[in-house]
Amino acid sequence: MKKLLSGAMLTLMLILSSCSKSSDPEEMPDPVSDDDPMAMPMPRNYEADIKAIIESNCLSCHSNPPVNNAPMSLETYDDVKNAVETRSLLARINSSSNPMPPQGRLPANTRQIIEDWIDQGLPEN
């Protein structure tokens, strides 16, 4: 009786463990990686992702009022959205010859976050 019960328990455990693991890699998608160019970008929004980048890299000149010959303020969501739509903000941060900020281009992953946000329609929240 103990052998029968042990055998049944072992069989049940094997069945349950085989149900929880897939041996076919196409059945389970890989987690999204920032290094995978084919991966869908993470959802981005101004408040969670962009505001901190702008505050730490742009507001020293693009404050309100702007200083150091900066042509516009980037203090609010509307300011940044306008700069994207009418002042080529993305081109400036990606420029290798005349980058913003002037002390050097932002890291590639930071620029990609901004580009993803723009591609996603500039969501605020």
Q: Check pLDDT > 90 for residue 73.
A: yes
Domain assignment of residue 38, yes or no? no
Output the CA–CA distances (angstroms, integers) from residue 123 to 6, 105, 114, in the order listed.
58, 24, 11
- Give the integer Cα–Cα distance in Å for 34 and 42: 9
pLDDT at 81 over 90: yes
Higher pLDDT, 66 or 22: 66
> Is 104 part of any domain?
yes
Mean pLDDT of 103-107: 93
Q: Is there a domain that residue 88 lies in?
A: yes
Q: Where in the sequence is the domain holding 75, given as residue range(s)?
A: 55-119
Structural domain includes residue 106: yes
Tell me which residue of 66, 49, 76 sits closest to 100, measured CA to CA: 66
So what's the pLDDT on residue 39? 73
Does 105 fall in a domain? yes
- Best-predicted range by mean pLDDT among 30-34, 76-80, 94-98? 76-80
- Rounded to an integer, the average pLDDT of 50-58 is 96
Q: Pick the closest to residue 58 from 27, 83, 23, 38 (CA basis).
A: 83
